[in-house]
Structure 1
Amino acid sequence: MQKIRKGIGAVLLPFFLLTLPLTSSLSFAGSQADSGKELTTLYRAARKVISKNQGLINEKRSGKKLTADYVIKNALVNFKDATGHELDMGDDPLGGKKAMLAAVRSVMDEAQDLINDGDVGFKGFLPAIFARQVGTAFGKNTGGKITIKLTAPKKYVRNRANRPDKWEKSIISGKFAKSDYEKGKPFFEDASVKGKAAFRYILPEYYSQSCLGCHGMPKGSIDITGGKKEGGVLGELGGAISLTIYK
Structure 2
Amino acid sequence: MVRSRHWWMKLTVALISMGTIPAPVIYAAPDGEDLSIGKSLADMLVAGETVISREQDRIDDPKLGDKGLSGETLLEQTREIYRRATGVDAAAVDPASRHGRLLRAQMDAIVEVMDANQTTINAKGTGFKGFIPAVFARLVNEAFARKAKGEAEVKVTGPPDRIRNRKARPDAWETNVIKSKLLAPNWPRDHAYSAAVETGGRAAFRVMVPQYYDETCLACHGSPKGEVDITGYPKEGAKLDELGGVISIILYR
Distance in 2 of aligned mates of 1:209 and 1:48: 16
One of 82, 86, 94 as aligned partner of 2:85 = 82
Q: Match of 2:191, SS?
A: coil
Bigger drift between 228-237 and 162-171 goes to 228-237
Q: Match of 2:247, SS?
A: strand
Distance 1:184 1:138, change over 3 A: same
Unaligned runs of 5+ in 1: 1-27
Structure 1 residue 46: deviation in Å?
A: 0.7
Distance in 1 of aligned mates of 2:113 and 2:211: 23
Q: Does 1:173 align with 2:173?
A: no
Q: Which residue of 2 aligns with 1:230?
A: 236
Are the equivalent residues in 2 in contact too, given 1:65–1:115 (CA < 8 A)? Answer: no
Distance in 1 of aligned mates of 2:87 and 2:236: 34
Distance 1:33 1:88, change over 3 A: farther
Q: Which residue of 1 aligns with 2:47?
A: 45
Are the equivalent residues in 2 in contact too, given 1:89–1:98 (CA < 8 A)? Answer: no
Structure 1 residue 209: deviation in Å?
A: 3.5
1:147-226 → structure 2 map (5 Å cutoff): 147-226=153-232
Unaligned runs of 5+ in 2: 1-29
1:41-83 CA-partner distances (Å, limit 9, x unpaired): 1111111111222111111121133222232122122213322
Are the equivalent residues in 2 in contact too, given 1:56–1:65 (CA < 8 A)? Answer: no
Q: Match of 1:186, SS?
A: strand
Q: Match of 1:100, SS?
A: helix
Structure 1 residue 136: deviation in Å?
A: 0.3
Q: Does 1:240 align with 2:243?
A: no
Structure 1 residue 88: deviation in Å?
A: 5.2
Q: Which residue of 1 aligns with 2:34?
A: 32
Are the equivalent residues in 1 in contact too, given 2:58–2:67 (CA < 8 A)? Answer: no
Q: Which residue of 1 aligns with 2:113?
A: 107
1:91-128 CA-partner distances (Å, limit 9, x unpaired): 35221110010000000001111000002111011111
Q: Match of 2:208, SS?
A: strand
Larger Rg: 1
Bigger drift between 79-88 and 229-238 goes to 79-88
Are the equivalent residues in 1 in contact too, given 2:59–2:67 (CA < 8 A)? Answer: no
Q: Which residue of 2 aligns with 1:129?
A: 135
Distance in 1 of aligned mates of 2:179 and 2:36: 24
Q: Match of 2:155, SS?
A: strand
Distance in 1 of aligned mates of 2:160 and 2:93: 38
Distance in 1 of aligned mates of 2:204 and 2:130: 34
Q: Match of 1:74, SS?
A: helix
Q: Quote the sequence identity (%).
A: 37
Are the equivalent residues in 1 in contact too, given 2:210–2:247 (CA < 8 A)? Answer: yes
RMSD (Å), alpha carbons: 1.6
TM-score by length of 2: 0.82
Runs in 1 of length 4+ with deviation above 3 angstroms? none
Q: Match of 1:199, SS?
A: strand
Of Structure 1 and Structure 2, the greater helix share is in 1
Bigger drift between 32-41 and 82-91 goes to 82-91
Which fold has the larger relative contact order, with Cα–Cα distance below 8 Å and residues 6 or more apart in sequence? Answer: 2
